[in-house]
Structure 1
Amino acid sequence: MHTRRSVRSMPVLAAAVVMAAGTLVALAPAPAHAAAGATVPFTSVEAESASGTGTRIGPDHTQGTLASEASGRRAVRLSPGQRVEFTVPRAANAVTVAYSVPDGQSGSLDVYVNGRKLAKTVPVTSKYSYVDTPWIPGARTHHFYDNARLLLGENVQAGDKVAFQATNVQVTVDVADFEQAAGPASQPAGSVSVTSRGADPSGQGDSTQAFRDAIAAARGGVVWIPPGEYRLTSSLNGVQDVTLRGAGHWHSVVRTSRFIDQSSSSGNVHIRDFAVIGEVTERVDSSPDNFVNGSLGPNSSVSGMWLQHLKVGLWLTGTNDNLVVENNRFLDMTADGLNLNGHARGVRVRHNFLRNQGDDALAMWSLNAPDVDSSFENNTVTQPNLANGIAIYGGTDIAVRNNLISDTNALGSGIAISNQKFLDPFHPLAGTITVDGNTLVRTGAMNPNWNHPMGALRVDSYDSAIEAQIRITNTTITDSPYSAFEFVSGSGRGYAARNVTVDGATVRDTGTVVVQAETQGAATFRNVTATGVGAAGVYNCPYPSGSGTFTLTDGGGNSGWNSTWSDCSTWPQPGQGNPDPDPGRNLARGRPATATGSQDVYSPAKAVDGDANTYWESANHAFPQALTVDLGAREAVRRLVLKLPPQSAWQARTQTLSVQGSADGSAWSTVVAAKDYRFDPAGGNTVTIALPDGTSLRHLRLQVTANTGWPAAQFSEVEAYLS
């Protein structure tokens, strides 16, 4: 589910903060917990930690950039002929590479083992990337990365070197997963092979009817999918009381964008050990382009699967009681990885790995009926590039335990516990919602609808007050770009978020605050320790004004976050505490940018994304043009650095521009009068403008009236500094 937030500003009213001894009895010491995340058969190595001749990009958490969607917010850009070389961390015979190539381009990566070139290459393409969803407020082009896998054809050992070299296209390499893939499994005795019913393992013929015939013949038993590739041209239905089993997802591959599509099933369906790889290149919400669309019925399971290039992995409606989804990989969906869409009891989703989902990676949405007694446990979620890592929209007695979530982007938190309904009839949160043992790394994002941040873990009374008991325990939050815990009514209607307990949390290096409270309600905090807090411990400014206070009760054992942000008219920026931990920080990077016009894909955000290779270009032949950046708070800006891309193709040019400033975005004054500024490749295509002493502004505007090199205003980076 994507996050439909209203476009609004955030005028706020200061509210009382109560940090006194609580009346609740202290809890007993928490029991030992399982490690967060899935048990997976591979080891990942980040490209930025490898050696090679490419260029490292990032870190960045600005929406719509290659670095911000990368694992760890960093990656390595390879021009043709450049390479990145990984030290193999474990014995392996297979590798998966997460990569991106420019839109509209394809090519390959040559592969080297200990300096020896293999005959095999890794194909790379933008076919499944650069997704646009203009019907989702705040969405921009996203989903830049894709994953390609390769059986090396030989064994490599820990310490060996595996390199990937770009041949005929620029490739940004993010991460490589090394593993020892098992050989193909043997056919189970008594099973019905799809090839015995005419399926074509070469992938040339249409095997749809053969799969249907095998399923009908094997009712109560096993359908066997031998090694090979099988092409299905339409979905399967009427699947019940049967096991579909492959020889392992490296060996048995089904090519289809719609595998099972059925509204009901008597259940006892078990799907395991093969790959389903689709051809979904755009997100069309009305199309059932999913691995499973609908119901598998009660007492079913999905395990050992590789699911890729679909809209959604499992979009589950109807009855799915006691379903188990475990040990699967979900890669490169244009929307959700899995969405449990009401009518389900006792569902267990565990030990799955999800990378590069185009919406919520894992979601429960209680539409038509509540999800009850269901859980997401020990999953690893990385790089959801539009919404949340894990989202719970309503439901009764739900658990989110021991998950590892990293690198959320744009409209999402690491975990969202929400009463956002999207449609009716919706069943709000009820009973006890358990959020325990989760680790969140670099989660939370700037919401482009609000120009306002979202926390790593969000409790959101979007469409109705939260009456359930929300129990958040044993949480680790590291490197959140903004806040750690957020309490909000995302619709802006001020519904209360009550009955929340946060017990046992470690917060490290949060960009702004530990607690971001923006609606009425109450929460008790116990044993929450914080280090490296960017601005203040608490931001407590409920919206709308006068809607009521949010009460924070100190249950004891808290440390490192006892200060409060005092100015509810502005949102604290990362590192805005006293003293500023990074006085050389570029104040404009990642901030909301707007313009009087832009040309094609060269949007205003490209001028503040930290990447000098991307740029904003205004509407052509339409001077004057202006670019405006909201710094988020009034700053004593002393210096601007303006850049154009450094490539030799960008020849020298002169732009005529003035610098304007504003405290509120409406009343503007001229800071530096119009003047000619020359951008010359010999000087790095960079211009520095000193601002007068005493300059204080929140909104920065560059007004361009001429450009000798192109009939438009152009900037690849606009940087603002305090010194």
Structure 2
Amino acid sequence: MHGSTSTTRSTTGSARRAAAAGAAVALAAGMLVALGSPAAHAAAGASLPFTPVEAESAATTGTKIGPDYTQGTLASEASGRQAVRLAAGQRVEFTVPRAANAVNVSYSVPDGQSGTLDVYVNGTRLAQTLPVTSKYSYVDTGWITGSRTHHFYDNSRLLLGRDVQAGDKVALVATNVQVTVDVADFEQVAQAAPQPAGSVSVTAKGADPSGQGDSTQAFRDAIAAAQGGVVWIPPGDYRLTSSLNGVQNVTLQGAGDWYSVVHTSRFIDQSNSSGNVHIKDFAVIGEVTERVDSNPDNFVNGSLGPNSSVSGMWIQHLKCGFWLMGNNDNLVVENNRILDTTADGLNLNGNARGVRVRGNFLRNQGDDSLAMWSLNAPDTGSSFENNTVSQPNLANGIAIYGGTDITVRGNLVSDTNALGSGIAISNQKFLDPFSPLAGTITVDGNTLVRAGAMNPNWNHPMGALRVDSYDSAINATVNITGTTITDSPYSAFEFVSGGGHGYPVKGVTVDGATVRNTGTVVVQAEAQGAAVFRDVTATSVGAAGVYDCPYPSGSGSFTLTDGGGNSGWPGTWEDCSTWPQPGQGNPDPDPNRNLAKGRPATATGSQDVYTPGKAVDGDGSSYWESANNAFPQSWTVDLGSGQAVRRLVLKLPPSAAWGARTQTITVLGSTDGSNYSTVVGARDYRFDPATGNTATVALPDGTNLRWLRLSVSANTGWPAGQFSEVEAYLTP
């Protein structure tokens, strides 16, 4: 499921509909300059049975492509945003990183073509070849706004028939078709497991392990006979022509996911079950070549029932791995591989309580790789933990759409594309009835690599980690802790109301994060609301610390509170009319611009509608007026970053109705928002309508401040401090 609205959505989301732009940021407790370090966390991601090796790091006679982050290109969908293109006769040669007897290859061939790769081990060509095809690639989803043809890659696996050792060479040679090789997974596959005692074998019920005959009824008969026990799927290939249903109180077990293979595009399709279903240790490989949301072309569609589990599975070439509705309480989904789905890898579609999804590997999804969508009822007390997600090529790596007390912990997400972030925490509802985010949302210890993408519907990017009040305000407690964000092409953290309604994002704390080499900004703040940042360190920031632009304009500010320990990301992007490009840096500012105009302003008090912001709104006829008869009173503006201010212009309304008066004013400045020092001592400044009711204050050379404060201790014309405009300039 990904960012968008759909009125006909049955299993996965349509495209994100609205442009979003920004939110004004006020750093309430000082500039982000202090040192700090995130809390220590265990390595993120799943413990994998294989070791991947990128083709671009291997020896090759082919052509390296990428890196590229442009939607709709081969390089942008590749792991690491790079790959190797082989013409006929060209090779890529991998150095094996560990003992192995099998390889799985992520590759792409031109649309409409198929062929083979020859495989060489230490220079000797194997008799078996690796098949490659475009059959499952080049998916079009024209009903999803902003999508293009995508899903270029596929996976093909091969048992080598021999053991290879660390340091050996395995080469892939293109023979009869151009092949772009992305990554090779090397694995030591254990021997096939033996049949469990007392189990019911599907072959005893007539299943055909050659894959020629239809084994559907044999599977159904074995399930019926094994109630409370185990259905055994021996090594072989089994073809099912229709889905299984009525599956409950049974274990379906194979000899291993490289040996026992079920070929079907709809494995289990049932709306309810009494539960205690356990599925493990075999492969389900489908024939889904397009995405039809009304079709249940899924490994599991509906419900396995309470207290069920799925583990050790290889799931490939389906629409969704899991589309889970109904009662799936306490379900555990762990240590599976989900590859090449045209839509979601797994989606908890409402009413999931106590579900644990952990230790899984997902690659090349055509929508959200892992999602919780609280349709009809809230997903509650459920978690995504220690999963590895690679190359979701249309939407988010991990998405939480509503729900109560949800946890996203210890995951590794890389190379998101087009319409998604690495992790999205969102109130996008898609359909009603929807349960918005509630309780505590825990996002802890996750690592995001090259995550975030240019959203074609917005014409600006999504951050690596996004909090989105798309269809309603976020009022949950959102704790984002121990995050590592590396090589994000655009921003690291984004706060947005993506539906364009300006709903607030509240209750967010970002505590302990390391941001390295982010392309544009650390914080992309675009919605009203607030967040606390603490111990967030950044290095190699492409443009500025903060993107500070409310959307819709005037919809309210986003207060970014410095909790201490932050470093490496000062400064705000200056020009809200343009989105910063990676590595661009701030445009050269106009040295004659008024630094105070439109900036957040506060005061010790005000009268009626004469609020502090009236003194920086660019309207000379409106004004701030302090509390009456209570000198001294002060007015303060946050300029957004440290500035070498040389001159102030103080104004009252030019109307002759404003009689001449003298105000006694002290100018103070601060770089941290807490400690102020005197810049210009108390002086009398004359305001006379005959000369425009204007006073100019020269500041001494060497003045540097971010917060400018004017303290008024007397006024001969009215018993209060008054300014219609306060202007600050870099020029004398």
1:279 is paired with a residue whose SS is: coil
Matched with 1:2 is: 2
C-alpha distance in 2, partners of 1:2/1:488? 15
Note the alpha carbon deviations across 1:136-161, whole angstroms, 9 max, x for none.
11000000000000000000000000
**2:27 alignment partner, one of 18, 22, 36:** 18
Would you say the 8 A contact 2:235–2:254 is kept in 1?
A: yes
Please tell me the residue identity of whatever aligns with 1:3. Answer: G
Query: Equivalent residues in 2 for 1:87-166 (5 A)?
Result: 87-166=95-174
Contact 2:214 2:240 in 1 (8 A): yes
Instruction: Give 1:20 deviation, angstroms.
Output: 1.4
Find the aligned partners of 1:309 and 1:440 in 2 and give their Cα distance. Answer: 26
Tell me if 1:404 matches 2:409.
no
For residues 219-278 of structure 1, give each alpha carbon's deviation from its aligned partner in whole angstroms, at most 9, with x where no partner exists: 000000000000000000000000000000000000000000000000000000000000
Deviation at 1:578, TM superposition (A): 5.8
CA distance in 2, matches of 1:376, 1:368: 21
Q: Take 2:371 and 2:25, find their aligned partners in 1: how far apart are those partners?
A: 34
The letter of the residue matching 2:102 is A
| 1:519-577 CA distance string (max 9 Å, x none) | 10000000000000000000011100111000100000000111101111111111111
Q: What SS does the aligned partner of 1:213 have?
A: helix
Q: How far off is 1:33 after superposition?
A: 2.5
Alignment partners' CA distance in 2, 1:547 and 1:19: 19
- Cα deviation for residue 300 of structure 1 reads 0.2
- Residue in structure 1 matched with residue 244 of structure 2 by the alignment: 236
Task: Tell whether 2:440 aligns with 1:432.
Answer: yes
Residues 1:19 and 1:451: Cα distance change in structure 2 (over 3 Å): same
Residue 50 of structure 2 aligns with which residue? 42
2:201 is the counterpart of 1:193: yes
Q: What is residue 79 of structure 2 aligned with on the other side?
A: 71
CA distance in 1, matches of 2:27, 2:244: 58
Q: What's 1:576 paired with?
A: 584
Return the match for 1:367 from 375, 390, 411.
Answer: 375
Q: Which amino acid in structure 2 is aligned with residue 337 of structure 1?
A: G
The letter of the residue matching 1:207 is S
Aligned counterpart for 2:267 among listed residues 234, 239, 259: 259
Q: Is the 8 A contact 1:517 1:550 kept in 2?
A: yes
Q: List per-residue Cα deviations over 1:75-119 (Å, max 9, x = no partner).
A: 000000000000000000000000000000000000000010000
CA distance in 1, matches of 2:552, 2:63: 46
SS at match of 2:499: coil
Distance 1:229 1:8 in 2: 46
**Counterpart residue number, 2:651:** none
In structure 2, distance between residues paired with 1:7 and 1:273: 41
Q: TM-score, normalised by structure 1?
A: 0.78
- Rate the CA distance shift 1:29–1:111 in 2: closer, same or farther, 3 A: closer
The one of 546, 549, 552 equivalent to 2:557 is 549
Q: Which has the higher contact order (CA 8 A, sep 6+)?
A: 2
Cα distance in 1 for partners of 2:205, 2:382 equals 38
Q: Is the 8 A contact 2:440 2:477 kept in 1?
A: yes
CA deviation after TM superposition for structure 1 residue 34, in Å:
2.3
2:18–2:499 CA contact under 8 A, matched in 1: no
Report the 3-state secondary structure (helix = DSSP H, G, I; strand = E; otherwise coil) of the residue aligned with 1:67: coil
Matched, 1:337 2:306: no
1:81 to 71, 86, 89: 89
Give the deviation of 1:15 after TM superposition: 2.8
CA distance in 2, matches of 1:302, 1:293: 13
Question: What is the deviation of 1:347?
Answer: 0.4
In the alignment, the residues of structure 1 paired with residue 133 and residue 17 of structure 2 have an alpha-carbon distance, to the nearest angstrom, of 35
Does the Cα contact within 8 Å between 2:24 and 2:526 map onto a contact in 1? no
Deviant stretches of 4+, over 3 Å: 5-12, 28-32
After superposition, the Cα gap between the structure-2 partners of 1:39 and 1:10, relative to the gap in structure 1 and judged at 3 Å, is closer
CA-CA distance at 1:287 after TM superposition: 0.1
Match of 1:295 in 2: 303
CA–CA distance in structure 2, aligned partners of residues 7 and 331 of structure 1: 28
Identify the residue that residue 204 of structure 1 maps to in structure 2.
Answer: 212
Instruction: Report the secondary structure of 2:128's partner residue.
Output: strand
1:17 aligned partner, one-letter code: A
CA contact (8 A) 2:20 2:498 kept: no
Q: What is the distance in 1 between the residues matched to 2:2 and 2:240?
A: 29
User: 5 Å matches for 1:160-559?
Assistant: 160-559=168-567
1:6–1:492 Cα contact (<8 Å) kept: no
Where does structure 1 lack aligned partners over 5 or more consecutive residues? 581-723
**What residue identity is the alignment partner of 1:46?**
E
| Counterpart Cα distance in 2 of 1:333 and 1:413 | 18
> CA, structure 1 residues 419+8, in 2 after alignment: closer, same or farther (shift >3 Å)?
closer
- Give how far 1:19 is off: 4.3
**Hey, what's the Cα distance between the residues in 2 that align with 1:9 and 1:268?**
45
RMSD: 1.6
Q: Compared with structure 1, are the counterparts of its residues 122 and 90 closer, same or farther at alpha carbon in structure 2 (3 Å cutoff)?
A: same
State the distance in 2 between where 1:535 and 1:293 align: 45
Equivalent-residue separation in structure 2 for 1:353 and 1:204 (angstroms):
30
User: Aligned AA for 2:501?
Assistant: R
Following superposition, the deviation at residue 407 of structure 1 comes to 0.2
Q: Which amino acid aligns with 1:361?
A: S
| Deviation, structure 1 residue 2 | 2.3
CA contact (8 A) 1:11 1:569 kept: no
Give, in whole Å, the separation in 2 of the partners of 1:139 and 1:455.
Answer: 18
Report if aligned partners of 2:374, 2:403 keep a CA contact under 8 Å in 1: yes
The TM-score with structure 2 as length reference comes to: 0.77
**Cα distance between partner residues in 1 of 2:108 and 2:550:** 41
CA distance in 2, matches of 1:241, 1:217: 11
C-alpha separation between the residues in 2 aligned to 1:451 and 1:21? Answer: 32
Instruction: Choose 1 or 2 for highest CA Rg.
Output: 2
